Amino acid sequence: MGDDDAIVQAARVSYGRGTQRVSESAGLIRYLMRHRHSTPFEMCEIKYHVKLPIFVARQWIRHRTANVNEYSARYSILDREFYIPASEHLAAQSTTNRQGRGAVLDGPEAAEVLRLLAEDAGRNYDHYVEMLNENPDGSPIDPYRQGLARELARMNLTLNTYTQWYWKIDLHNLFHFLSLRADPHAQYEIRAYADVLLQTVEAWVPFAFAAFKEYRLGAFTFSAAMLGALRRMLAGEAVTQETSGLNKREWEELRSALKPAHA
């Protein structure tokens, strides 16, 4: 529901008219994005049908600004389908970031992890079906044995089992989701979904997407202390982390933001 024109129309409602030229529409949307006017972007909504591993879904659902209806394993039997990462996405725990990844695992270690993931997921699913005593069509596997309730049997499934949901969200909140989940620091598995969502947004609202890419996705926000340090640098002062007023992490973020693109 809605498009670039709906954003412009909402912004211009107090005038009782819309803009007359495409260039004016693009310019207004850029202004709205630059100055963080949110309500015009709420005039656009989109609904996705998403299939995703349960552990990604639990991270995704942290964004509570959408309407969600998920496939229910209380009523239905989940498919025998699991997410097994490619070996290049298997990494050790980061030593500097408690929620991040470190060095990529080497060949034998990666192969063993992949074996365990596939073996555990398959075994647990087999036990899930055994406890249910139920075929996909609802008929009993063993007519002489009573199966466990679906709502109980599901607890045995691994978190890489796929679920699915309908996810409906307005454009303003979708942009917030994407600013976090399409970021290079986001977990790879949810970032892969965010990258696809970006493509759908670009096709749907190209002016709004261009403004989002310019002012949010490819931008960096300076704190007051960062801005003060930058002004001192531009004035010719040799600013260090110790004299900047920034802690070590903030200083590294500032240095990274100011690093030449080709560096």
Task: Determine the distance from the C-alpha atom of residue 97 to the mean position of all C-alpha atoms in its chain, rounded to a whole number.
Answer: 19
Q: What is 4-49+166-217's CATH topology?
A: Gyrase A; domain 2 (3.30.1360)
Answer for the pair 60, 187: CB distance below 8 angstroms, yes or no. no
Domain boundary assignment for the chain = 4-49+166-217, 79-160, 224-258
Catalytic residue, candidates 181, 232, 249, 255: 181
Q: Phi, psi at residue 166, to the nearest 5°?
A: -95, 135
Dump pLDDT digits (tens) for 136-154: 788 899 999 999 999 999 9
Q: Please name the residue that has the structure tokens 């590294």.
A: 252
Q: What percent of the chain has pLDDT over 90?
A: 81
Res. 223: pLDDT tops 80 = yes
Give 173-190 pLDDT, tens digit per residue: 999 999 999 998 899 999
Query: Which segments of the chain does DSSP mark as H helices, in order?
Result: 4-11, 22-34, 54-60, 107-132, 150-153, 171-181, 188-204, 206-212, 224-234, 241-244, 248-258
State both tokens at 252.
Answer: 């590294």
Annotation says 123 is catalytic: no
Q: Which residue has the higher pLDDT, 58 or 136?
A: 58
CB count in 10 Å sphere of residue 144? 6
Residue 31 CA: distances (Å) to CA of 28, 67, 178: 5, 28, 20
Give the span between the Cα atoms of 4 and 43, in whole angstroms: 10
- pLDDT band with cut points at 50, 70 and 90 for residue 97: low
Residues in the chain, overall count: 263
Instruction: Kindly report the pTM of this predicted structure.
Output: 0.89
pLDDT classification of 157: cutoffs 50, 70, 90: very high
